[in-house]
Amino acid sequence: MGFLKTALTSSVLLAGHAIAADLPSIKMKGSKFFFENGTQFFMKGVAYQQETGAAGETTTNKYIDPLSDEAICERDVPLLAALGTNTIRTYAIDPTADHSACMALLQENGIYVVSDLSEPALSINRDDPKWDTELFARYKSVVDEMSKYSNVIGFFAGNEVTNSKNNTEASAYVKAAVRDTKAYIADNINRWMGVGYAANDDDAIRAHIAQYFNCGEESDSIDFWGYNIYSWCGSESSMSISGYDKQVEFFQNYSVPVFFAEYGCNTGGAESRVWDDTTALYSDEMTDVFSGGIVYMYFQEDNDYGIVSISNDEASTMDNYKALKTKLASVSPSSTAYDSYSPTNSAQACPSIVDTWKASENLPPTPDSELCECMFNSISCGPASDLSTDDYGDIFAYICENDAEGCTGINGNATTGVYGPYVMCNDTQKLGYVLDHYYKSLDQASDACDFEGQAVVNSDVASDSACSDKLASASSAAEVAATATSPSTSNSTGTGSSSSESGNPANNLRMNRLFALGDLAIGAYLLVAMGVGAGMVLL
């Protein structure tokens, strides 16, 4: 689910009365949220963004930033407030837009914000995960924009990125994003804002993924855990039928706040929802462990999960909005005072690598745009300026087959936890790195940097003292990665030959180059077809 499918006196605030000052920031202690005055905070939330696609995909970048249009906010915020909402979740915001008017309206109505950091075409893709300089820049820009507003609780570094046992490696990249975004906030923002993850509820990975994001060093792990859960369906459900009792049991020892990042099963359609799950969520059975939840969703669309319908820019509340309003008005969660609360829960143990969990505790490196630029400016052989990105795949495929050591510097393996120092660079920079490594492996032969005009020699490489330390450190890291991924010496040639001719890497590269350069595209095709080095082919 989600957008890509991604006590204050609330009786006064939620009635729509304006407040003169900023809302007090929410803070975290142990597994609970608190207002600044020490009263426990429970989310009574609504997912507030129009749907555009499925989670984890990068096929479109069309989205409507719900907090950048004052007229829309003036229409919707009063309805959110009248419902009893104190939190909204947004799934993508435009960090270059002006959010001041909408954020002021939310402030005036006592409503906080949790936002995802990604956008549809710039996110961690479960099928080809990366944590790179471009994505980190996006995350930082969202933090910079939203940190202006005291009613921002925090962010999700990912939403259902890993959604089955077949793509658990992607979680290493999301956890690296958590680590780096937390560090950026700590270094640049003068108040706490949390960074968490929103997971789907999948039997095969449910326990492992919750453990993984909460294990290890605190600086690397989530500040809060969100569950997108739709197991309470219909009026005949219950704590046991829905499995809510098992969720309470599992998370009772979790060390950070847990809440429903999405909920609201619609097996009978949106209007069939009577919201008994809301009553359960704020009952004594759950409030010692869960910090509330976020209803999916505000807008009624084709997926039939809405509580408000929009027609000709006019908003009309639906029957299940009214039912939810009644439920929220009747709940009174048991709370804990900040000063009397002494957390005792500790972080989870990291899950082992098994058939259903393939993400290592070792995380990808922090994206460093300066390192990538230093490297690219230092190369003696690089891509031609007019080379189309559509042609990158052929060159990557050829070089990574014939100079595997060079490609260890740009690749990562989330299961072994081995990452090259340039895994975070953009594709042009990565191509420059492997071209240069290949060129130097062939002793800078005159035809080793050509590729039928697709690569060129840079004869005027200038040394930059400011880059020397970074490049030296990266070179050492590349050697470690190459050693960790190299085959055993006895199998290095596959022939058992001990002759100096066949055992010399440069000679082997020359032989392969003479054989295949004239048929570069065909060779790349055959390489992919045979499944050799498929993980290194960037298409």
Q: Which residues are catalytic?
A: 160, 262
Q: Which of 294, 297, 282 is nearest to 111 (CA)?
A: 294
Q: Which of 257, 256, 255 is nearest to 345 (CA)?
A: 255
Strands 40-41, 32-34: pairing kind: antiparallel
Q: Which two tokens stand for residue 324?
A: 């939810």
Q: To which H or E segment does residue 309 belong?
A: strand 308-311
User: Which residue bears the tokens 């792990």?
Assistant: 221
CB-CB contact of 442 with 509 (8 Å): yes
d(C-alpha 436, C-alpha 456), whole Å:
10
Residue 2 backbone zone (phi > 0: left; psi -120 to 50: alpha; other: beta)? left
Backbone phi, then psi, for 378, in 5-degree steps? Answer: -100, -5
Strands 412-413, 418-419: pairing kind: antiparallel
Taking the alpha carbons at both ends of the chain, their separation in whole angstroms is 28
CB-CB contact of 231 with 277 (8 Å): no
Show Cβ contacts of residue 349 under 8 Å, excluding neighbours closer than 6 positions: 211, 215
Q: State the number of CA atoms in the 13 A half-sphere of 358 facing the CB.
A: 15
Whole-angstrom CA distances from 243 to 163, 233, 261, 348 are 19, 11, 16, 21
Show Cβ contacts of residue 141 under 8 Å, excluding neighbours closer than 6 positions: 95, 96
